[in-house]
Amino acid sequence: MKEQVYEKGKPAFGVLFMLSVAHSLNDMMQSVIMASYPLIKEELGLTFAQIGLITLAYQIAASVFQPIVGLVFDHFPLSRSLQLGMSFTLVGLVLLGWVSSLDGVLVSVFLVGIGSSVFHPEASRITSLASGGKRGLAQSIFQVGGNFGTAVGPLLIALLVVPCGRNHLSFFGLVAVVGIIVMIPACRWLKDYLKESKIKLKSESRVTRPLSLGVTVWSIGILLLLIFSKYIYMASLSSYYTFYLIEKFGVSVQSSQLCLCVFLVALAIGTLLGGPLGDRFGRKYVIWFSILGTAPFSLLMPYVGFGWTVVLSFCIGLVLSSAFPAILVYAQELLPYRLGLISGLFFGLAFGVAGMSSAILGEMADVRGIETVYRAVAYMPLIGMVTWFLPDLKKNE
């Protein structure tokens, strides 16, 4: 009987590919929420304060609940948890297209957020279980799907919903149905894995921590600080990069969107590389390079011309995005019997920091200007120096 959570051998690439596709579909639907704000605000006559309340409801469901959901499924594994989460998203999106009040919108986005809270920790858990020991590679395959979906969602809103009206948001429920179908093989795989390995609380407790409890808590605290620094800077680019280019260089909206696409491509490449490099050279060194290595580019970018700004933004996206797979897998190695809790904690913090940072940086841009924002956040990658204090876990521990 197999008792180890991480099995050595060949990764289940079929399962990993399906999880990546499902991640793409899930994050595409999650990105629909904020992309649809202009439509919702106009049709329901909402204020900006009410839009902020919608964001708060979504963030609570999508961020705060993730570690809770992960911990619950650590104790009570459920083979169809992924489909359960996608069902919440399905109901929420269908409602979002038809509700006619703020209360209805709040309920809708809360349900979509719950879907995300179930999907991310559970899918990340299955990704680790299906990795065959190549956990970094597996997480990169999984996460690059999310990057693609996040980029495509707003584009679909612009092409399919804006010309036709808000009720067409409900058609994204079909995407949720496709996601439920796509996840059938992964759910079957997990059911067989749970049956064969008997991974329940008692069997998971046989997998010991590589470090003492005190050092483990200290290390997780450092990793959370690194996530904090990464997503504050990332929020400045994902939310305000186009505005920065338009205001500073006078480029067209179309040109700014193309530059944003360059940055998003860099994110996808960096995410795909970060995990395998961590498998090869060790997580700590990839984390060190990814966070602190971004600093030269971020510090230089506010002071160069348009062409170099695009080049530096590509370098920033490429280097900085490689951090998350390495950070997540490092944290999972610290607590190998709490995969759901760790995944939910780090995904939830990433979402929460990104959301709060976007709001704070937006307020700062209104008061002091968008260029001031980029000069200020340029120093965030320097927090990567705290990586020095992380223990050096070897790749196959």
Domain CATH for 322: 1.20.1250.20
In a domain, 129, yes or no: yes
Cα of 325 vs its chain's centroid, Å: 10
Tens of pLDDT, residue by residue over 329-371, are: 898 888 887 888 888 888 777 777 777 777 788 778 888 888 9
| Predicted pLDDT of residue 4 | 38
Whole-number Å distance between alpha carbons of 369 and 356: 18
Same domain, 160 and 265: no
| Predicted pLDDT of residue 203 | 42
In a domain, 397, yes or no: no
In a domain, 3, yes or no: no
| Predicted pLDDT of residue 198 | 62
Same domain, 192 and 324: no
204, 239, 271 - which closes a domain: 204
Same domain, 68 and 185: yes
What is the pTM assigned to this prediction?
A: 0.75
Same domain, 144 and 271: no
Q: Which domain holds residue 308?
A: 213-389
Name the maximum alpha-carbon separation found in the chain: 65
| Predicted pLDDT of residue 396 | 39
| Predicted pLDDT of residue 204 | 44
Low-confidence ranges of the chain (pLDDT < 50): 1-7, 199-205, 395-397
| Predicted pLDDT of residue 335 | 86
172, 204, 236 - which closes a domain: 204
Same domain, 221 and 360: yes
| Predicted pLDDT of residue 6 | 41
Tens of pLDDT, residue by residue over 23-46, are: 999 888 887 777 677 778 878 887
Same domain, 323 and 347: yes
Same domain, 231 and 178: no
204, 223, 256 - which closes a domain: 204
In a domain, 2, yes or no: no
Residue type, 281: F
| Predicted pLDDT of residue 48 | 64
